[in-house]
Copies of this chain bind each other. A is one copy, B any other.
Amino acid sequence: MLSNIRIVLINTFHPGNVGAIARAMKNMGLTNLYLVDPNDYPSEEATSRAAGAVDLLENATIVSTLEEAISDCSLVIGTSARHRTFQLPIMNARECAQTVIPESKEHDVAIVFGRETTGLLNEEIAQCHRQVYIDANDEYPVLNISQAVQIVAYEIWMANQDQTTYDKTVAEYPRKKDMDLFYEHLEDTLYGINFIVRNHPGKVLDKLHRFFNRSRPEKQELGILRGVLAAVQREAGLTDANNHPEKKAKKTPEQE
């Protein structure tokens, strides 16, 4: 079950941290490590710090974009300091583990850690459904990344030992890439009905994106929402749902 939980590290700078994280993960029964465009890797220092967890490094999946690391996940959780302007539902590490354990019975779950110095970018947080922070001293709250992974992994281990978390029933959620198709469909439709003006998109799309990521439609609900969009397009005369609205805007009168 814990094999459905992956730790995703973005642009790690110090290879020693990657090694320490592999060890921290294995200590807590996690095996699934994704590295997005790591600096200076593979490296001897990573191997040395990994100690008995070199197998995790050897089996790590190395990709070049966050997208590749999470596209088949139904739940993506970004780590962050407590306060972000881009607000998603936020949990502490303990609550995060209690959410992740039942979900990982059936689905792949990613927990994403940002760069050592700057954390996750807003556009990366925007790809997440939830945020997790680690309770810490307000006067010095920023943990070393390997320590942060250790605590998140430890809480997952603890929650997994706690049988009460097993009983939660979990809805079936769409994969990240299905949500992306929905967002495309939504955007096309909103342009098509002139709700958004192409040169002046403002922040409406971001806000809708945030709303739907936060609310996590279930698989069936997403199907209904897609159906609504298709019906809107049909009624508004945007018959070809795959037609990009820009093309429609350029239609000549003869085509109408």
Report copies per complex.
Answer: 2
Residue from B53, B94, B207 in contact with A224 in the complex, judged by beta carbons closer than 8 Å: B207
Is A142 interfacial (CB-CB < 8 Å)? yes
Least Cβ distance of A131 to chain B in Å?
13
**A55 and chain B: residue at smallest CB distance:** B140
Chain A interface secondary structure, helix, strand, loop or mixed?
helix
Q: Is the CB of B150 within 8 A of A137?
A: no
Name the residue of chain B whose CB is nearest to the CB of A205.
Answer: B224
Contact A28 to B215, CB < 8 A, known contacts A23-B144, A224-B204, A232-B232: no
Distance of A28 from chain B, by nearest CB (Å): 6
Contact, CB under 8 Å: B27 / A228: no
Query: Within 8 Å of chain B (Cβ to Cβ): is A57?
Result: no
Query: Which of B137, B141, B228 touches A195 (beta carbons < 8 Å)?
Result: B228
Once the chains are docked, how many angstroms separate the CA of A215 from the CA of B51? 38
Listed in ascending order, the chain A residues whose CB lies under 8 Å from chain B are 20, 23-24, 26-29, 49, 51-53, 87, 94, 134-137, 140-144, 146-147, 150-151, 154, 157-158, 161, 171, 190, 192-195, 204, 207-208, 210-212, 214-218, 220-221, 224-225, 227-228, 231-232, 234-236
